[in-house]
């Protein structure tokens, strides 16, 4: 699909992440005005509350866009999602008869503060990247036992904390936790010294379900996608994870990008999952291209210094798609809600430069990476800013998500010191 031309000039720039082909959904505020829904177009934000008030947008329900979240729109279902996108394209396309009415409703992005674009109902994080799972398993169990016996049969996951999902730009405080190193006789309570990131994509459920659904039904239920950074305290995780898996190591924060890119905007970039080494059971089998060709990267910038790109990979590297993850999640009858967030799992490629976590990049801390500043990193140091970026590239345009950024602050004083 070629670039769709808009009367918003900045939306026609090949370098903008927000052309007319994209139209991602976010929440913004300006000055003292309350947060409300907006749509990114070029370097502007369309004030959806204003458009709704002027009857330029009407989905049959009142006050959808004056709310500081998109959950109410999600709950209207796929037909409403399609109608909304069609109307937005009509309003913003080159030659639109609505230009005179819409233009005053555009807010320069530089004037806006971005907020969480949704209320996260529940959060589940998966472990569905084969290169990542193989790398981590090799480090801890050896190459011959790298993948758990179930890994090639089901997308493995755990239930995380919806309460600690934050929007890009939120500062992250280094966590305290119980640690026990290989040379420690007893566990101790201390700040994490092996704090890490995980480069992921997040799928947002738009259509609720009450029982098991198929992979196709799961794909139809997904509202859109965000970039996702699953902050991980590796030393806390190493002590706590057996036998039930990640807990406090993953509870500090999960950062998402500020714009929800709709499934419709990503449809031209669909690709197949990798060939299966083991045939999946019928309820998880692929039913068409369910992944996306989205280029991803991670940069690390020490406090006050230039950033270094430390990893480049692609979402197409995943072994299981978000639709398969969602379908698997429902097999027990588990209800899913509008606003549920599914983390893909760390997205790593085959090459060392494509590893989506510092745990892999430094091979468990044994092989520190060197930044362009000359400094070395095995894990995140205080003051470091980590930035995740992603874009699907079309003919003369790209579909972006906005950066997913977090700066790590020093640990607070001992919360139990009296």
Active-site residue, from 115, 131, 132, 329 = 132
| Residues 26/259, Cβ–Cβ less than 8 Å | yes
- Name the CATH superfamily housing domain 123-409: Fumarylacetoacetase-like, C-terminal domain (3.90.850.10)
The strand pair at 385-393 and 404-409 is best described as: antiparallel
| Residues 217/183, Cβ–Cβ less than 8 Å | no
Cα separation, 52 vs 49, in Å, equals 5
Pick among 1.20.1250.20, 2.60.40.10, 3.40.47.10, 2.30.30.230: CATH of 9-115: 2.30.30.230
Q: Is 328 a catalytic residue?
A: no
Cα separation, 297 vs 229, in Å, equals 12
**Residue position matching structure tokens 């379900």:** 209
Residue 25 host element (H or E): strand 25-29
* Cis peptide bond upstream of 256, omega within 30: no
Cα separation, 263 vs 226, in Å, equals 11
Neighbour tally for 116: CB within 10 Å: 19
Could you tell me the residue ranges of all domains in the chain?
9-115, 123-409
Q: Is 383 left (phi over 0), alpha (psi -120 to 50) or beta?
A: left
**Residue 10: per-residue pLDDT:** 98
The model's pLDDT over 262-289, given as tens digits with 9 standing for 90+, comes to 999 999 999 999 999 899 999 999 999 9
| Residues 268/86, Cβ–Cβ less than 8 Å | no
The chain-wide mean pLDDT, for the chain, equals 97
The model's pLDDT over 164-202, given as tens digits with 9 standing for 90+, comes to 999 999 999 999 999 998 889 999 999 999 999 999 999
| Residues 380/196, Cβ–Cβ less than 8 Å | yes
DSSP, residue by residue, 3-64: PPPBSSGGGG-TT-S--TTT--EEEEE-TTSPPEEEEEETTEEEEHHHHHHTTS---SSTTS
**Residue position matching structure tokens 């036992």:** 145
| Residues 269/290, Cβ–Cβ less than 8 Å | no
Per-residue pLDDT 10s for the chain (418 aa) are: 899 999 999 999 999 999 999 999 999 999 999 999 999 999 999 999 999 999 999 999 999 999 999 999 999 999 999 999 999 999 999 999 999 999 999 999 999 999 999 999 999 999 999 999 999 999 989 999 999 999 999 999 999 999 999 999 999 999 999 999 888 999 999 999 999 999 999 999 999 999 999 999 999 999 999 999 999 999 999 999 988 889 999 999 999 999 999 999 999 999 999 999 899 999 999 999 999 999 999 999 999 999 999 999 999 999 999 999 999 999 999 999 999 999 999 999 999 999 999 999 999 999 999 999 999 999 999 999 999 999 999 999 999 999 999 999 999 999 998 7
| Residues 194/235, Cβ–Cβ less than 8 Å | yes
173: helix, strand or coil: strand
């Amino acid at each position: 699909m070629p670039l769709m031309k808009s009367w918003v000039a900045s939306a026609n720039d090949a370098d903008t992440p927000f052309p007319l082909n994209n139209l991602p959904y976010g929440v913004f505020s300006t000055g003292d005005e309350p947060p409300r829904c907006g749509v990114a177009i070029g370097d502007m934000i369309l004030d959806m509350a204003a458009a709704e008030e002027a009857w330029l947008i009407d989905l049959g329900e009142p006050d959808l866009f004056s709310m500081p979240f998109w959950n109410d729109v999600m709950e209207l279902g796929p037909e409403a999602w399609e109608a909304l996108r069609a109307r937005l394209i009509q309003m913003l396309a080159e030659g639109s008869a609505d230009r005179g009415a819409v233009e005053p409703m555009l807010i320069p992005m530089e004037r806006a503060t971005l907020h969480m674009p949704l209320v996260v109902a529940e959060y589940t994080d998966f472990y569905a990247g084969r290169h990542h799972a193989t790398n981590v398993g090799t480090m801890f169990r050896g190459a011959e036992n790298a993948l758990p016996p179930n890994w090639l049969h089901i997308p493995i996951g755990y239930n995380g904390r919806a309460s600690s999902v934050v929007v890009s730009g939120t500062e992250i405080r280094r966590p305290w936790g119980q640690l026990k190193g290989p040379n420690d006789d007893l566990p101790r309570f201390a700040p994490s010294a092996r704090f890490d990131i995980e480069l992921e994509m997040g799928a947002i459920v738009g259509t609720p379900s009450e029982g098991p659904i198929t992979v196709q039904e799961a794909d139809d239920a997904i509202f859109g996608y965000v970039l996702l950074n699953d902050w991980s305290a590796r030393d806390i995780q190493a002590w706590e994870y057996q036998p039930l898996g990640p807990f406090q190591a993953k509870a500090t924060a999960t950062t998402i990008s500020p714009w929800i890119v709709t499934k419709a905007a990503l449809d031209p970039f669909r690709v197949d999952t990798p060939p299966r080494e083991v045939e999946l059971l019928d309820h998880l089998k692929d039913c068409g291209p369910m992944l996306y060709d989205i280029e991803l990267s991670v940069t690390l910038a020490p406090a006050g210094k230039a950033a270094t790109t430390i990893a480049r990979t692609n979402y197409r590297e995943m072994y299981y798609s978000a639709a398969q993850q969602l379908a698997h999640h429902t097999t027990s009858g588990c209800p899913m809600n509008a606003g549920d967030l599914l983390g893909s799992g760390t997205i790593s490629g085959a090459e060392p430069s494509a590893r989506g976590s510092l745990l892999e990049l430094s091979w468990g801390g044994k092989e520190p990476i060197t930044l362009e500043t000359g400094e070395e990193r095995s894990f995140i140091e205080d003051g470091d800013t980590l930035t995740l970026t992603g874009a699907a590239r079309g003919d003369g345009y790209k579909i972006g998500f906005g950066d997913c950024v977090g700066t790590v602050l020093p640990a607070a004083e001992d919360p139990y010191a009296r």
